[in-house]
Structure 1
């Protein structure tokens, strides 16, 4: 008997999604697709990031990880089939993060790893989409406050004490955590795998942190000279890794195998309470968002090396698809607002989606905005639902998923 239970959710799926669901129904309910690993089949080729037991598909296979920390209830909402899969609970989750495939449920007792069974392999000029069974992978010792960052080869886990360990991605893909390797020293922020290296900021807390680079084995590598005062937040973009700093951002890129470092400063001094402290963006985008105090949002265009401060109403959550798309801001009135980044003008607004006055997520709990290539998703914990928003059509509510749990925590996989 499968340990994962499939539940129906109330949503009107477009015909195209229904058709695609029929093509992908073989792995519904967390059961392996017998055709997925068929020797010699077109979908079982070992190249292009294929993993045994997975099936390649024509479209992105997005799934939402949803958790109620109070009860521990977890659901994996398949956005293609419209089905919610029940998995063993994780009670007391302080934060839920993802690297695009694996979900990390951070608790005081450690971090539980869940393979959501949906991911994208990006080759730059083209991409491959895969789906497979949902399964538990195991537990990582680092718990509350740990930061997990991954690339195609390594997963780095930085504990709240600044100490970091790495795991082989192939082991996670096989359904086990595997052995870890400890990196020397401590970090003032997350260790980020990038371009065959492990990037981090080191310091004693008395001055600016320094950029440190290690190879995948943990050995020291040559690093460009760069510092970051009061490091806060990070993000991986197509143009490199962004670290938030007191004066703006530090961008670490790869120039034909040589690491580079470049500052992207704010246009003037910014009070500490209005600095960008955490980033959200669409996976693969070069446009980052971050709250700029209580009533504004920073938009960092990494390609143009520019910061834009957009005045909004009171901010609960923000995100954007980038590349000319609207800035999406969930405000305390419970409505989703769309702003033109260039002019700062509000161009769209939904009816209130969430009942009552909202507050920014505390410790990662509460409403957030997840964005993929065509849709945005907003979780409504008290209403026990998730809204799917077509951000290219005036913030139209495309689907509403009714749930049997309170989705206090949400993260999107398949990207």
Structure 2
């Protein structure tokens, strides 16, 4: 039996009621039909607005069976089957499962919408819309809102760059805005209804039909892309490029690495969705913090080699990382100090090992033991729960964020 995840229920409900009132919507103690909510809040007709984040874990076993575990109620369900997974990515609503045939999409029908000073939360019925064909593990990059804009997929094997229409996907339909052939190591990321695609030593802007525009900016050896609440950040050898606006009028800000720090560049980024600061993993010990609001870099040297690092970007500035020994380590962003660490939780972490954070907890899958560790990173990296998911968590993601 799984104990539901404890939340500050009274506070959460109070905040939700204030948020809804601030949008001119009548607040109720139960789910509010989306038809009663004002336009522009990320809603769709098949979901209901709820009072707190509908957090859940989506697990995919080695055969492709997909399960969902509700972190609030403890209830679980089987969602169906994808192909045998070779990789997984998630924007906090959709789970993109790379297989030998392409990417199978799982819609958890749980998502959050950032309304500046508060959030809206939605819950619907999960489904599996279908497959985006392609070859090789797909790198998936998304925007801030799962019901608008685009999601970009890049297949390393075939070199296809695919841009999906989010509005259609939210209604259960896979619509490719475009599919173009790009370099195998290209970075492809959504920008409004269009995309940014790297080539040679530049980042180019593409419109919704896959036509390259005249907008571009210099970028050597592009690697890593993430959308923050400020804009789209892309890693380059000499800097990060922050892109704001849309495909019609993109604005570029170059954030160079500090001259007084001798450290490897960031090659991948991760952070809590809807926050300005993200963590950048390097090829060596240590990590970077990129503040896209202040447009600054901070380097943190570590004694341990890390395989994953993600910025919570909460008031306390927690950064959660996984090292090569299988320990979760927690750092303070302001000082770089390691403030907590777990015992060894997983052996020999690999690309299937997932570390996801939300505003209170981190989740780490242990495929060998077929469990998920829920970690209270703000409380000395305490193991809050050990969770059994409905399918063995060969791959895992948290949704509802």
TM-score normalised by length of structure 2? 0.83
Q: 1:409 to 1:18 in 2, by over 3 A?
A: farther
CA distance in 1 between counterparts of 2:242 and 2:335 reads: 26
Q: 1:162 to 1:402 in 2, by over 3 A?
A: same
What corresponds to 2:85 in structure 1? 93
CA distance in 1 between counterparts of 2:293 and 2:225 reads: 16
What corresponds to 2:396 in structure 1? 410
What corresponds to 1:116 in structure 2? 108
Mapped contact 1:336–1:350 kept (Cα < 8 A): yes
Is residue 54 of structure 2 the alignment partner of residue 61 of structure 1? Answer: yes
| SS of residue paired to 2:73 | coil
CA distance in 2 between counterparts of 1:271 and 1:19 reads: 45
What corresponds to 1:291 in structure 2? 281
Q: Which of the residues 195, 216, 226 maps onto 2:217?
A: 226
Q: 1:46 to 1:322 in 2, by over 3 A?
A: closer
What corresponds to 2:190 in structure 1? 193
C-alpha displacement of 1:302: 2.4
Bigger drift between 325-334 and 168-177 goes to: 325-334
Bigger drift between 398-407 and 239-248 goes to: 398-407
CA distance in 2 between counterparts of 1:325 and 1:211 reads: 31
What corresponds to 1:251 in structure 2? 242
Deviations 1:373-409 (A, max 9, x none): 2221111211211122222222222222123643121
Structure 2 regions of 5+ residues with no counterpart? 14-29
C-alpha displacement of 1:46: 5.2
Q: 1:346 to 1:165 in 2, by over 3 A?
A: closer
CA distance in 2 between counterparts of 1:165 and 1:298 reads: 29
Mapped contact 2:196–2:205 kept (Cα < 8 A): yes
Q: How does 1:296-375 map to 2 (within 5 A)?
A: 296-304=286-294, 305-323=296-314, 324-354=316-346, 358-361=347-350, 364-366=351-353, 368-375=354-361
CA distance in 2 between counterparts of 1:127 and 1:13 reads: 20
CA distance in 1 between counterparts of 2:360 and 2:151 reads: 28
Is residue 132 of structure 2 the alignment partner of residue 140 of structure 1? Answer: yes
Q: 1:178 to 1:226 in 2, by over 3 A?
A: closer
Is residue 366 of structure 2 the alignment partner of residue 399 of structure 1? Answer: no
Q: 1:175 to 1:258 in 2, by over 3 A?
A: closer
Q: 1:352 to 1:149 in 2, by over 3 A?
A: closer
Q: Which of the residues 153, 170, 178 maps onto 1:157?
A: 153
What corresponds to 2:231 in structure 1? 240
Q: 1:269 to 1:99 in 2, by over 3 A?
A: same
- How many residue pairs match? The answer is 377
| SS of residue paired to 2:167 | helix
| SS of residue paired to 2:152 | strand
Deviations 1:124-166 (A, max 9, x none): 2332100111111011112423233334222333332443233
CA distance in 2 between counterparts of 1:77 and 1:131 reads: 14
C-alpha displacement of 1:123: 2.7
Is residue 272 of structure 2 the alignment partner of residue 282 of structure 1? Answer: yes
CA distance in 1 between counterparts of 2:285 and 2:180 reads: 40
Deviations 1:209-241 (A, max 9, x none): x12112323344442x42211111111112221
Mapped contact 1:17–1:80 kept (Cα < 8 A): no
Structure 1 regions of 5+ residues with no counterpart? 1-8, 22-34
Q: How does 1:380-391 map to 2 (within 5 A)?
A: 380-391=366-377
Q: Supply the RMSD in Å over aligned alpha carbons.
A: 3.1
Deviations 1:19-40 (A, max 9, x none): 999xxxxxxxxxxxxx9796x9
Q: Which of the residues 165, 168, 185 maps onto 1:168?
A: 165
| SS of residue paired to 2:168 | helix
| SS of residue paired to 2:85 | coil
CA distance in 2 between counterparts of 1:74 and 1:169 reads: 22
CA distance in 1 between counterparts of 2:360 and 2:342 reads: 17
C-alpha displacement of 1:244: 1.3
TM-score normalised by length of structure 1? 0.80
C-alpha displacement of 1:15: 7.0
Q: 1:16 to 1:293 in 2, by over 3 A?
A: same
CA distance in 1 between counterparts of 2:98 and 2:7 reads: 37
Q: 1:17 to 1:316 in 2, by over 3 A?
A: farther
